[in-house]
Structure 1
């Protein structure tokens, strides 16, 4: 394997997932790249600190470990991680996800650098704890990556006006590799929320970048598990989701200052309506007792958002009563 000329900082918020960190350690121990693992422990109670201390890694892998003074959630952990990242390429990585074996081979070819501030790539979405290579993504991302504009391999760099639909991809923090200089210069930050904290930095990334890369040609580079069982945030129904409406209003306010706002507003409107449809639909369908009350609250908040928004609500077919 050729020596990777780049250094990577992986920002990993950790909360009671020592087993996930140990899986990361085994993965990185076999890679030849220069890697900094920035592990921000959000007051874990499961032996995470001991697992980090016991990690045996080669010289090219170093760990920067910080334990939060109090539990602050993934947003606070990632923001602290940004200040600790020291390598030129930075990625947010969840403790319970896993990079693909070919990650570093692909990233050596990624069009990152110069005016390209980050690259966007495919992922495996798995709903089975035993399945790592699913070759599945959320529908909006499948549609985006299936549209291949004319571009020479591997120099697939775009300005936002070239591919505005990229903003409507799912707002994951871990499907992008960043230039550290861009994260600092653009002041990308996660808001102090316990739900939907990844929406704002997703939109900030596109609105503030000079240009971005899209790895249409690459295989999925990370596995993200969305196992239906358990208490994952994706299954939560309740008050913590209500903050997203104010956060989206903040995103829209920034979008309206962008030179290409006229072309970007319909993309933003579609993104919002997809999210609202999921919140008052599939999310509440499996929400258990009290879900109907929250369905009504989410629907009312969405209606208030559209009444105040300058984006035009996408035309929707009448929903069944």
Structure 2
């Protein structure tokens, strides 16, 4: 039977977590599914565990990196192997909800959308309580429900949906569509999903959505978690933003119509990251922030002021806000 959904999972030293995810996915019997795990040079039991599971799970593929390449390049390596009609990228340590993936697939085949979006919840870890997704996501799902009650819309109808979290696992993507646009994740150690998010959302003809959580996203309260990285690696944010800037420069129509939504996102993510980065790299962060803000055109700022006056006010004083957050005022 043809494969309907390909699930790509990069992993590094998450043996128990990825094993649980594989077994959870393998139990889904609603459609033909393949699981592609990309081991990113793990040093724990991951490789022998995957080899043992591969003998049991006919739908499991394993890609092995000989050196650590990071989540972005690992996702790219996994995507090169997909055979399914639709593709989703999951994190190894998140708790996937099978019903969420089943609903995403159903929405995809019934609407023929390029992308299907799904909600999620959050937790600090297994055994910890779950909490609802971020406020912006909640507002976006309410907005989509209000303006697209049949569960499908065009980007022009609800363009602000692009500002949802730039995660890879909240989207089921038509594989042919993804291949046609050259879907690619970035090389940076953090924010490597930013370019892929904007690349796929901006060029989609139809976007569908569900109301069933796809996963519980785990955000441990530890400095080692990627969300909490505060050292020099956090400066990779600027490489990710520059990739999207270059993309907009190559697409004048998209820039004219949608760049102000990216600018809104850029304001938010710079303020958030300025509270994360350590003091040793604060000056570099501020310098690069000013550099990336120079790519904003007057027309972009005017469009933001029309669409979101409050965010435009924040944009105008953003360097001062960042300086204060970085204690460089």
Offset at 1:269?
A: 0.9
Counterpart-to-counterpart distance in 2, 1:97 and 1:83: 23
Question: Matched residues in 2 for 1:299 and 1:115: separation?
Answer: 44
Equivalenced residue count is 305
Q: Is 1:315–2:313 an aligned residue pair?
A: yes
Give 3-state SS (helix, strand or coil) of 1:177's partner: strand
8 Å CA contact 2:8, 2:87 repeated in 1: yes
Instruction: State the match for 1:8 in structure 2.
Output: 5
Kept after mapping to 2: 8 A contact 1:191/1:200: yes
Greater mean deviation of Cα atoms: 256-265 or 201-210: 256-265
Correspondence for 1:53: 51
Q: Secondary structure at the match of 1:149?
A: helix
User: Would you say the 8 A contact 2:18–2:93 is kept in 1?
Assistant: yes
Correspondence for 1:220: 213
Partner of 1:287: none
- Structure 2: gaps spanning 5 or more residues: 305-311
Point out 4+ residue stretches in structure 1 off by more than 3 angstroms: 56-59, 111-115, 317-321
Q: 1:72, CA displacement in angstroms?
A: 0.8
Mark the CA change 1:243 to 1:22 in structure 2 (over 3 Å): closer, same or farther: closer
- Following superposition, the deviation at residue 99 of structure 1 comes to 1.4
| Residue aligning to 2:173 | 178
TM-score, with normalisation over the residues of structure 1? 0.86
Q: In 2 relative to 1, CA 308–104 (structure 1 residues): closer, same or farther, beyond 3 Å?
A: closer
Deviates more, 1:62-71 or 1:135-144: 135-144
Decide whether aligned partners of structure 1 residues 70 and 31 sit closer, same or farther in structure 2, where only a CA change above 3 A counts. same
Q: Is the 8 A contact 1:171 1:202 kept in 2?
A: yes
For 1:278, the equivalent position in structure 2 comes to: 272
- Superposed, 1:71-110 pairs within 5 Å as 71-110=68-107
The within-5 A match list for 1:222-301 is: 222-256=215-249, 257-281=251-275, 283-284=276-277, 291-301=278-288
Contact 2:116 2:208 in 1 (8 A): yes
Comparing both structures, which one devotes a greater share of its residues to helix? 2
Root-mean-square deviation (Å): 2.5
Structure 2 vs 1, CA of residues 260 and 65 (structure 1 numbering), >3 Å: closer, same or farther?
closer
Cα gap change, 1:295/1:104 in structure 2, threshold over 3 Å: closer, same or farther? same
Does the residue aligned with 1:297 lie in a helix, a strand or coil?
Answer: helix
Q: Distance in 2 between matches of 1:260 and 1:228?
A: 38
Q: Which runs of 5+ in 1 are unaligned?
A: 285-290
Post-superposition offset of 1:46:
0.7
> TM (normalized to structure 2)?
0.84
Q: Distance in 2 between matches of 1:303 and 1:204?
A: 24
The CA deviation string for residues 15-42 of structure 1, in whole angstroms up to 9 with x for no partner, is: 1111012211331242213221101111
